[in-house]
Amino acid sequence: MAPKKKPSAPKAKAPAAPAPKAAPPAKKGGKGAKAGKKDAAKKESKKDFICAILIRKLDFEGMSHETVKKVFKSCGGIVGVRLRHGKYTLIFFKSNENAKKCLEFNNKVVKGNKIQVLRARRAKLPKKREGYCRTIWVGPLPGGTTKEQLRKHFAPAGQVKKVRYYPSKKMGFVYFKKAEEALKAVAMQDVLFSHGKDVSKLEKVPKQLQVKLKIKLSRRTVTGDKLKRERLYNRRPPSEIERKEQKSAARAALRTAAKAAKESEEKKKASGSGTKKESTTKKSSSTKKGSTSKK
């Protein structure tokens, strides 16, 4: 008889794979949050660039920020305007839809001029001038005005540092010490300005010699004006005398540099020869000592 087969033991089941652990919740204010904020800031900046429109060949009498806004009022959503008279005009819109409406004005006649309308990619919104501008623009100034009259007129606003008057352009600039004083001067638009050479001698100034002025904040500064003057002066080509002086100065600089190089080389050579002599003397003394020890 064949021996009976032993019953086989039941096979052990393979252990189940451990369930994946749930990822820990992201901490508030971590790297992901910072990256998200940066991306949002970039998107906002891109929006500003997209909504900027450049307009060329737009020029008409009485052109200002307010009049340009009125001309393109149908587009809607105008945030700011930048003017560069005789060059170009920049208009900033809230959304891309408003900018597209403005692009429809391309190659159209506006105020007697055929304008060109393009997108401005690198343009930035103008900064608010309230709070940091310490200069005001004044105009249109009547004939016969003087700097002393402008100083006296704006003395109640604060300390006037400097006054610039351009009679050909009928305008001027008044520089104050503080930005608060400039704001006070802007609020003086309703105050009548008395002009004329003989006004200071009169007790009562007639209405004919009194005018309302337009006053606006300006970004000009005293230091900025100085830098502009220096740049304009440096643009002038040098004269023959100045060229000769420049050449002689360059030659003298080359001579001094060559002398300094020669002196440094001589010092190096002298220091090298001294080290060689010291090494030879040391070797000779060591050989003499060795010979004496052998004896």
pTM: 0.48
Residue 31 lies in a domain: no
What average pLDDT score do residues 255-274 get? 87
pLDDT surpasses 60 at 101: yes
CATH classification of the domain holding 80: 3.30.70.330
Give yes or no for a contact between 176 and 182, defined as CB atoms under 8 angstroms apart.
yes
How many other CB atoms are there within 10 angstroms of residue 200's CB atom?
12
Contact by Cβ (8 Å): 215, 188: yes
pLDDT for residue 131: 79
Look at residue 47 in the predicted model and tell me its pLDDT: 44
pLDDT at position 21: 55
**61 & 102 share domain:** yes
Structure-block tokens of residue 286: 């060591």
Is 26 a member of any domain? Answer: no
Whether 260 has a pLDDT exceeding 90, the answer reads yes
Which of 101-110, 219-228, 285-294: highest mean pLDDT? 101-110
Q: How many domains does the chain have?
A: 2
Q: Show the domain range for 110.
A: 51-119
Q: For position 292, what pLDDT does the model report?
A: 54
DSSP summary character for residue 84: E
**pLDDT tens string 271-280:** 876 665 565 6
When pLDDT is averaged across residues 67-93 and rounded to a whole number, the result is 88
Query: Pick from 160, 183, 199: which residue ends a domain?
Result: 199
Give the span between the Cα atoms of 52 and 103, in whole angstroms.
11
Q: Are residues 55 and 113 in the same domain?
A: yes
pLDDT of 169:
87
Q: What is the pLDDT of residue 226?
A: 84
pLDDT digits (tens, 9 = 90+) for 154-202: 999 999 999 999 988 889 999 999 999 999 999 988 888 877 666 666 6
Asked if residue 141 and residue 110 are part of one domain, the reply reads: no
Q: How confident is the model at residue 109 (pLDDT cuts 50, 70, 90)?
A: very high
Please state which of the ranges 111-115, 172-176, 229-233, 283-287 shows the lowest mean pLDDT: 283-287
Same domain assignment for residues 188 and 154: yes
37 in a structural domain: no
Q: Express each pLDDT in 148-163 by its tens digit.
A: 889 988 999 999 999 9
**Once rounded to an integer, what is the mean pLDDT over residues 193-217?**
73
Q: Would residue 274 count as lying in a domain?
A: no
User: Residues 88, 16: contact at Cβ < 8 Å?
Assistant: no
**270 inside domain:** no
Q: Give domain status of residue 35, yes or no.
A: no
Residue 208 has pLDDT above 60, yes or no: yes
Please tell me whether residues 56 and 106 are part of one structural domain.
yes
pLDDT of 45 above 60: no
Question: How far apart are the C-alpha atoms of 8 and 85, rounded to whole Å?
Answer: 101
Kindly state whether residues 63 and 108 are assigned to the same domain. yes
The answer to whether residue 250 is domain-embedded is no
Regarding whether 147 and 96 lie in a shared domain, the answer is no
